[in-house]
Chains A and B, each alone.
Chain A
Amino acid sequence: MNKTLRIGLITIIGAFMLAIMPLPDWAVEYRPDWVTLVLIYWAMATPMKIGVTMAWFAGLLLDVSYGTLMGQHAVGMVLVIYVIHIQHQRLRVASLLQQAIVIFILLLIKQLLSLWVDGMLGHAPDSWLYFMPTVTSTMLWPWTYLILRDLRRKFSVEKHPQF
């Protein structure tokens, strides 16, 4: 296993733990979509190593641990990472704000897909808080980006100084 994959996997596992960490009752609806955020960064920085297949597996694992339908998180994650993957060169040179706007739209689509599945199963939540993770994730994007970039540089994962 090479260095990129190793550091990528470690951060994804970290994101996974944040995703299942117990939060106080008032905060559970605001939990950012950590796994998707971290996957977005790696899909942007190292698209050859971490892409849609990894996103799909991460989504399935999230489905198993959340007890949702197998594929409910996975399908949204694949679509988000796909868009990031094909646009990674443009996104890299965009400002953090522009990146955040794109990510907001993508995460909103992901959440809508998930809501659609919940609706078909007959237990759609009737609260606008359902879209709160999209907002909190977008707000946390700049910090996620900076932290992961520093991590990647520190462990000199890829020899592209410009990113």
Chain B
Amino acid sequence: MQTLFIRGPSATARMVVLVIASITLMTVDHRWRSLEFARSALSNLIYPLQYTIDLPIQLFYWADESFSTQQALLEKNREFEARHLENRVQLQKLDIIEKENERLRKLLSAIPKTTERLLISEIINVDVDPYRQLIILNKGSSNEVYQGQPIIDAQGIMGQIVHVGPLSSTAMLITDASHAIPVQVNRTGLRAIAFGSGKTDQLNLRHLPHSVDIKAGDLLITSGLGGTFPPNFPVAIISKVERPAGEPFALIEAKPHAQLEKSREVLLVWRNKAEETSEKNDAAANDETDSEKIDSNQENDSGNNSGTEKKVKPNQRRGNRE
């Protein structure tokens, strides 16, 4: 208790300052979303804890895999092989269709179709706010994860990245109450926006009139509008359509196509669009033709606009180091 007379400002003063600071932080975070640097820095402190929490679960999976019998492995292998064959047959068809599509698009001189790059990421098993639909992933800005990046699983769209740390990132699932995703009905081409409901297995399509052509069982795919999500990925299946008299809009519910609850691994998607490639320099560095294309893009950028200087510089530095 030697510090009795030399403590700093009183508790009251500190409390007032900190409360004001908290309110300011909340406002800034909500209105301008400009606190990502602080989040990213603090997530460094938390990552070891998250990793430690996740470790026993990973160990369990590891043990489960290591001690599975040869018989089980063989069976699994056979199953995978069969599925692989099946998929390849389907892919052949798709390949031809894709080529044809590309040719037709060229004939129309339309925008070239975008391609995607994928990276597998594991979900870190830690709990977040129970009233939000968030997950923590074990890839961060060191793997070029960026804010707003879409994540998918084998079945469909899962959500998007909302916070990025150096080693981990937080993703919001499409069912979060504050999430919305532009979709299209596969059967009719009707565009709509699917809002998250806060429940794990439900999306809502709001503001669609009674007369709309939609029925249970319809597949919703991403429309690609808004630019966050790549087009033509399955999102959900319509589960309920009601047209209550007296309500201005139809009541439409959909069930997410992706396995939001069960997936242990998710895929991060990068879109290799012509305008976006300058950011993904490293990704394509292995592919010579690609990187050439990117370099010319960069030169154009820096020539046209001095504002892009900053963006280009880190890439160049990285290039030099290599």
Contact = CB atoms under 8 A, between A and B. Distances in A.
Interface of A: 13, 16-17, 20-23, 28-29, 31, 48, 51-53, 56, 59-61, 64-72, 74-75, 78-79, 82, 85-86, 117-118, 121-123, 125, 130
Main secondary structure of the interface of A (DSSP, over half): helix
A72 B42 CA distance: 15
- Which of A60, A67, A123 has the most B CB atoms < 10 Å from its CB? A67
Nearest to B165: A64
19 contacts: A20-B127, A21-B126, A22-B126, A53-B14, A56-B22, A60-B42, A61-B46, A65-B128, A67-B134, A67-B170, A68-B129, A70-B28, A70-B38, A74-B22, A75-B26, A79-B19, A82-B11, A122-B178, A123-B198
Contacts of A125: 131, 198
A159 to B, nearest CB: 9
B61 to A, nearest CB: 14
Given A67-B134, A117-B26, A23 B127 contact: yes
B225 interface: no
B222 to A, nearest CB: 23
Interface in B9-37: 11-12, 14-15, 18-19, 21-26, 28-30, 35
Interface of B: 1, 3-4, 7, 11-12, 14-15, 18-19, 21-26, 28-30, 35, 38-39, 42-43, 45-46, 49-50, 52-53, 57, 125-132, 134, 136, 162-163, 170, 172, 176-178, 198
Contact of B42 (A17, A64, A86): A64
A28 B130 contact: yes
A123 B177 contact: yes
B49 A67 contact: no
Contacts of B21: 56, 71
A146 to B, nearest CB: 24
Contacts of A61: 42, 45-46
B49 A16 contact: yes
A122 to B, nearest CB: 7
Contacts of B15: 52, 78-79, 82
B29 A69 contact: yes
B30 A69 contact: yes
Nearest to B162: A67
Nearest to B1: A48
Contacts of A23: 127
A154 B129 CA distance: 35
A65 B45 CA distance: 10
B26 A72 contact: yes
Contacts of A72: 26
Closest 10 CB pairs of A and B: A71-B22, A75-B22, A71-B25, A123-B177, A82-B15, A71-B26, A28-B130, A125-B131, A20-B126, A70-B29
Contacts of A117: 26
B14 A51 contact: yes
